[in-house]
């Protein structure tokens, strides 16, 4: 009987391991700017196109000093990385989040070319929201579509909001006008939760911006956009940045997104995370983030 129980325990453990299996063959480049992996039959490159400083107290105004110390965040500023995801399905080439701004706006273009991926070979560009640091690589310095043969996808609610952008800071309005508005003829609108292209779904997550969406890729890979700004907010979803004025919507969307990832035993790519790929699981307190270790190339 004991032997049977041990065998069953082993089988259950093996099944759970297979079900939890995440990004395969994860390799990071020597400079840390590129992560290569495969998942669910697709090939990916996660590009870190740059970073900028963010004040910790603006990010986590609700946290106590002890909580910040326990999280390793008891410092004035942290690096806010910008991650763009390239996906090759064998039939389509897709960019999720053409990130960057100012000096970093062209970094994604250079990095794709370094990988032998022509910009004109990209079929789809998916944008979670229209804030400047998420859209700078959408366009060339001459004001043309950087991915000339691609369709750009964004939530219709988001686009309409930024056409008027009443009450929004000038630098955010300018980011939309400079990086997205000139591409209007290339844009297809997403309406709530729907399939964007084959294998990729929109997860409505309004709050950080009115039409913000996160992304589900296949069954078990997710991309945050700014629904979750840092990994510690998986454990503390109630830590909401001071500039997020729609706090209730931010929290509701964040919890809904975390719940969806955990239900699918999924893996999350955090747009601004330092260690950007990890598993989201439930525990007695809520949710737990476990970063995925990568091999050096």
Q: Which of 54, 72, 53 is nearest to 63 (CA)?
A: 72
Q: Residue 199 CB: number of other CB atoms within 10 A?
A: 19
pLDDT in tens, the chain (297 residues): 334 333 333 433 443 443 357 898 899 999 999 999 999 999 999 999 999 999 999 999 999 999 999 999 999 999 999 999 999 999 999 999 999 999 999 999 999 999 999 999 999 999 999 999 999 999 999 999 999 999 999 999 999 999 998 889 999 999 999 999 999 999 999 999 999 999 999 999 999 999 999 999 999 999 999 999 999 999 999 999 999 889 999 999 999 999 999 999 999 999 999 999 999 999 988 999 999 987 766
pLDDT at 182: 96
Phi/psi of residue 46, each to 5°? -100, 115
**Would you identify the CATH topology of the domain 25-296?**
Metallo-beta-lactamase; Chain A (3.60.15)
pLDDT at 167: 85
Q: Which residue has the tokens 């964007």?
A: 196
Beta bridge partners of 278: 268, 291
Q: Residue 131 CB: number of other CB atoms within 10 A?
A: 22
In what helix (H) or strand (E) does residue 216 lie, and over which residues does it extend?
A: strand 213-217
Q: Which residue has the tokens 């952008």?
A: 165
- Domain range annotation of the chain: 25-296
Phi/psi of residue 216, each to 5°? -110, 125
Q: Which of 93, 99, 180, 94 is nearest to 145 (CA)?
A: 180
pLDDT at 293: 81
Beta bridge partners of 295: 27
């Amino acid at each position: 009987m004991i032997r049977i129980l041990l065998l069953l325990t082993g089988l259950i453990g093996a099944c759970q391991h297979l079900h939890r299996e995440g990004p395969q063959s994860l390799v990071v480049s020597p400079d840390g700017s590129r992560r290569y992996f495969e998942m669910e039959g697709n090939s990916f490159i996660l590009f870190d196109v740059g970073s900028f400083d963010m004040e910790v107290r603006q990010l986590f105004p609700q946290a106590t000093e002890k909580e910040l110390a326990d999280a390793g965040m008891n410092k004035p500023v942290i690096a806010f990385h910008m991650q763009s995801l390239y996906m090759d399905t064998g039939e389509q080439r897709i960019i999720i989040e053409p990130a960057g701004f100012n000096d970093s706006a062209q970094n994604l273009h250079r990095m794709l070319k370094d990988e032998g991926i022509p910009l004109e070979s990209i079929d789809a560009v998916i944008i979670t929201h229209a804030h400047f640091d998420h859209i700078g690589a959408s366009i060339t310095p001459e004001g043309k579509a950087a991915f000339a043969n691609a369709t750009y996808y964004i939530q219709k609610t988001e686009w309409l909001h930024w056409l008027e952008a009443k009450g929004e800071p000038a630098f955010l309005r300018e980011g939309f006008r400079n990086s997205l508005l000139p591409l209007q003829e290339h844009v297809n609108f997403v309406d709530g939760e729907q399939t964007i292209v084959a294998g990729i779904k929109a997860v409505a997550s309004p709050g950080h911006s009115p039409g913000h969406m996160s992304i589900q890729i296949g069954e078990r890979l997710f991309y945050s956009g700014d629904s979750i700004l840092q990994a510690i907010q998986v454990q503390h979803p109630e830590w909401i940045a001071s500039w997020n004025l729609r706090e209730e919507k931010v929290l509701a969307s964040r919890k809904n997104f975390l719940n969806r990832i955990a239900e699918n035993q999924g893996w999350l790519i955090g747009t601004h995370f330092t260690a950007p790929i990890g598993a989201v699981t439930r525990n007695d307190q809520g949710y737990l983030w476990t970063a995925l270790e990568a091999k050096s190339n």
